[in-house]
Copies of this chain bind each other. A is one copy, B any other.
Amino acid sequence: MTTRWLSPEEQRAWRAYIAASRLLEDAIDRQLQQEGGMPHLFYTVLANLSEAPDRRLRMTDLAETLKITRSRLTYAVTRLERDGLVRREDCRRDKRSSLAVLTDEGMAVLERTAPGHVEAVRASVFDRLTPEQVGQLEEICTGIARGLLGDAEESGAGDVPWRRRSPCSP
């Protein structure tokens, strides 16, 4: 099969995406490390739990929401549990799965950290974009995510990160 190399426009867009996503990850992580003592992934664990009924979610559902592998989530939750921000409970309805629960201290840390984080997201992303670009970014990212999830379904459900047994990437 002949390789369909990227066109110059696609090449430029791909390189711009890689540069922006690495700089953004770095900026968001750094702000959260400095002000909340945690990386962005940990913050999103707390934020997702805070929005769930009774501030608790099954680990499998949390991994799916976060689009990460279960082993990466387990690592994050173990660290958050050690700091008293999250607690783990057995699931009554499904004995094989466990729940992650946001503690009061976790909620307090989230509330204290959220304003600075939102300010960083706004300064890094939304202050740079027009309202049209905000809509474009959503549409582009939704299309990419939907495509990748669709591919995973077609090739067998095991291909999405949260259903995979052993992760390839750290």
- Report A's interface with B, CB cutoff 8 A: 3-6, 9-10, 12-14, 16-27, 29-30, 33-34, 39, 44, 66-69, 114-115, 118-119, 121-129, 131, 133-149, 151, 161, 168-169
Contacts and interface: CB of A to CB of B under 8 A. Distances in A.
A3 B30 CA distance: 19
B139 A127 contact: no
A148 B25 contact: no
Nearest to A27: B148
A119 B147 CA distance: 14
A13 B123 contact: no
A4 B118 contact: yes
B118 A22 contact: no
A118 B5 contact: yes
A124 B144 contact: yes
A122 B55 CA distance: 39
Contact of A141 (B13, B67, B149): B13
5 contacts: A13-B134, A19-B141, A20-B140, A124-B151, A136-B140
